[in-house]
Structure 1
Amino acid sequence: MKSTYLTLFTALLLSLPGYSQQHAEQNHTKYVWPTDALVKQKLDQWQSVKFGLLMHWGTYSERGIVESWSLCPEDEGWCERKGPTADNWYEYKKGYEALQTTFNPVKFNPDRWADAAQKAGMKYVIFTTKHHDGFCMFDTRETDYKITSSKTPFSTNPRSNVTKEILQAFRGQNFMVGTYFSKPDWHNEHYWKPYFPPKDRNVNYDPKKYPAEWTKFKDFTYNQIQELMTDYGKVDILWLDGGWVRPFSTIDSTISWQRTIPFNQDIDMARIAGMARQKQPGLLVVDRTVTGEFENYVTPEQQIPDHYMPIPWETCLTMGDSWSYIPKENFKSARKLVQTLVDVVAKNGNMLLNIAPGPDGEWHEEAYQRLAQIGSWLQVNGESIYGTKPLAPYRQNKWAFTRNGNVTYASYLPAESETQLPAQVTLPLMPTKTLTLLGSKQPLKWQKSGATMTVTVPDKVRQQLAGQPAWVFKLS
């Protein structure tokens, strides 16, 4: 089984653009199961909730550009600079960092977000406390490059410590809460040392040659994570991005993007995780793409494996086209998002859906509409999602299978042109006493035919449940 899913998953991902590939092309056979009883308990809880919210938000929303990456001097599409200073990297960086002095999201209202996410059926949240650009969306004592600095207009707002406000609002809706934190920091002078021009996303000096500089950066990282684990209430997940910051010994030379990492960038995850779990017992640590004891679940980005995976995993994907706010977004349909959730859960994963707040501190209204539509479907069909386990054959043609105890759920994912269930459907033969469709109390008739069962769906039921993104048969 392991060799099969690895081969299928890797074959799919090798054809992807590099931006998402760096978080997907990974040898999952090396996953290390946690041994800490509290971590295992938290991991079980996380695997049962299935559906979460990710939010990328920072000063970059003012320009409606990609988060952080335009600062990165790499010749890649997602790093492209635009605007009057685009031809001069130093001037561009100066202007980008000056966005701090105009950032003022006066419509910030995390309670509205938490309420909408709860009604959508989401159960956990991950918020970007700091992306690669180094701008902190929390009240850190380690730098003045932060939303609560007097340089930032929003600092006078009583809710200026947005990380604290967001985590409180979502905990108030019984969410598990997590902090996204970028290990690389392109603003910090001990990562991109001012003496040297940066060449790419990596540290711009050899930490082995300048150990005192690297020690200062390690301490800076440790101290910021300690703040997040100490001053912000209960935290369930520490979600670390920037997988090129890693021990040289963990680089997998069979993976293309990892072969480009020039230096040992070991930030001492054992020290960080030990401190974090002392502050937050049972904390899940997600050191993305750094396979080992500090990657409690894996995180394919903008992609879904084409097969069941027996390890904990989460696909993180955007509701629209972009991780960060853009003025005109192309949102996926509710039908597509629901079907993606069903597909992910049947393969043993969670779905983390990104919505990006704008410079005024508000989501696109269309994002609220999508969440309401997803919530309507989950209100009827959520029992086939939450707390379930995948069931072989997992995904087969238009079918997705889950179970909860002695109850089996077979979800039919229609094609775009299908607005009603077929009058007859064929399922793999499964033990059942009663067979119904979620949303209808009428028992359905079925006949055994070899290794399959043919189910008849009455016209009245087909009309009653018309137009759904997926239909769920309940066998109990």
Structure 2
Amino acid sequence: MKRPISVLVPQDNEIDATPTYLFDYASLYREDARLAGASWFRDARYGLGIHFGLYSLLGRGERVLCEGGLKESEYRALTDLFTCARFDALELVEFAIASGMRYIRFTARGEDGFSLFNTSRSSFNSAASKARRDLLGELASACEYHGIGLCVQYSLGTDMNHEQGPRPGRDLTVADLERYREFVYGQLEELLTQYGSLAAICLEGADQVGSHALAEHFESENVIRYIHHIQPQVLVSLGQGLVGSEDFLCCGEDAPAEDAPELERGWIHRNTGKTLEYRLSMGGKAWGYHVESAGKHLREDGVWSQLAKVCKADGNLLVGTALMPDGSLDYEDVTTLVDVGKRIEDNGFPR
């Protein structure tokens, strides 16, 4: 179902199509949508990464299929068990707000190739699973209602489902890459035209595509231009930077050293004017739900310490939480992050 961009009607009765998360930047948005998005993102500082998928049912992290030891047919059969019984988009957004966060990043399609939205490009998706739900659509509506920026994470460099998709140990031909690129463009069009105004699209694993000798055939620059053409305010990242024209860059808990391998450091030290988003996993062991992490999640002081480090570096912090197999929040993370949110409310962001 298509969701129109929210509109507000100013006093002069002129319709303003400013996305709800950019209401405070409405004047700038009318002049330069991309600059408004970039300004908002720099000011946002703190976001929630939500990790959920078929892998959650296994409790071994999000890379369980990539790491082997499981047949693809066995993994696909998990769709019959994927009910998302306690996935509540409104609860997720309100939790992010209570935690002092200003945007949400949601994995629309992970390395396993499973899409958490209603896509016509593949039957391997949540709407065709036991759940029969468009999880991204539900979250988009909740974010729009509350004025929270929605960033979509999309695995570009690894796809364990697509016949021509890149994966560990697979050598891609030009024809393979062209067919996969057509598939990617099709899904990006769906994301950009059916889910209202997005704040960002984060193309994960782009460095893996870039490591192929056929990287030029993927035309990453054109992917960025395509996204901007449909929604000019959307910020695009390709990990730590692959081509240099990304709107922001990403890293782990620490930025890579200047003498790190090129694919590891990307453009981080060359595009110093762009916001750098640091990432922190509450579970530590993996981004997706992992049973061995139970009781070992980060506590308030650990999150606050990382937030202070990132604020000092003038970056953003994305804190990742793994939803439980039924789609509910992990109580360990709820307690910790709401306490961090209270600390932000009382004292502001650390200086």
With structure 1 as the length reference, what TM-score do the two structures score? 0.60
Q: Deviations over 1:144-196 (max 9, x none)?
A: 000111xx2101xxxx100011122123222111110011311001226xxxx
Question: Is contact 1:304-1:344 (8 Å) kept?
Answer: no
**Secondary structure at 2:49's aligned position in 1?**
strand
Pairs within 5 Å for 1:104-143: 104-143=83-122
Please list every run of 5 or more consecutive structure 1 residues that lacks an aligned counterpart in the other structure.
1-35, 73-78, 193-199, 248-257, 386-399, 402-476
**Secondary structure at 1:379's aligned position in 2?**
helix
Give the number of the structure whose residues are more often helix, by fraction: 2
1:324 maps to 288
**Secondary structure at 1:148's aligned position in 2?**
helix
2:335 to 369, 383, 386: 369
Q: Deviations over 1:83-140 (max 9, x none)?
A: xxx3xx6xx2221121112111111111111111101110011100000110010000
Task: Please list every run of at least 4 consecutive aligned residues from structure 1 whose deviation after the TM superposition is greater than 4 angstroms.
Answer: 304-310
**Which one is further off, 358-367 or 271-280?**
271-280
Question: Is contact 2:279-2:318 (8 Å) kept?
Answer: yes
2:123 maps to 144
Larger radius of gyration: 1
1:57 to 48, 52, 55: 52
**Which one is further off, 213-222 or 229-238?**
213-222
2:168 to 194, 201, 204: 201
Cα deviation, residue 375, structure 1? 1.2
Q: 1:102 to 1:294 in 2, by over 3 A?
A: farther
Pairs within 5 Å for 1:372-383: 372-382=338-348
Cα deviation, residue 219, structure 1? 0.5
Asked if 1:70 is matched to 2:55, the reply is: no
Q: Matched residues in 2 for 1:164 and 1:37: separation? A: 27
| Matched residue type, 2:206 | G
With structure 2 as the length reference, what TM-score do the two structures score? 0.80
Q: Matched residues in 2 for 1:136 and 1:332: separation? A: 28
Asked if 1:172 is matched to 2:172, the reply is: no
CA RMSD for the aligned pairs?
2.3
Give the number of the structure whose residues are more often strand, by fraction: 1
**RCO higher in 1 or 2 (8 Å CA, sep ≥ 6)?**
2
Cα deviation, residue 266, structure 1? 3.8
1:187 maps to 161
| Matched residue type, 1:187 | N
Please list every run of 5 or more consecutive structure 2 residues that lacks an aligned counterpart in the other structure.
1-30, 259-268
Q: 1:62 to 1:265 in 2, by over 3 A?
A: farther
Q: Deviations over 1:325-363 (max 9, x none)?
A: 123252111011112112101111100000111111101
Question: Is contact 2:47-2:104 (8 Å) kept?
Answer: yes
User: Aligned residues, how many?
Assistant: 305
Asked if 1:276 is matched to 2:276, the reply is: no
Cα deviation, residue 265, structure 1? 6.5
Q: Matched residues in 2 for 1:206 and 1:121: separation? A: 43
Q: 1:112 to 1:206 in 2, by over 3 A?
A: closer
1:221 maps to 184
Asked if 1:285 is matched to 2:258, the reply is: no
Identity %: 22
Q: 1:343 to 1:205 in 2, by over 3 A?
A: closer
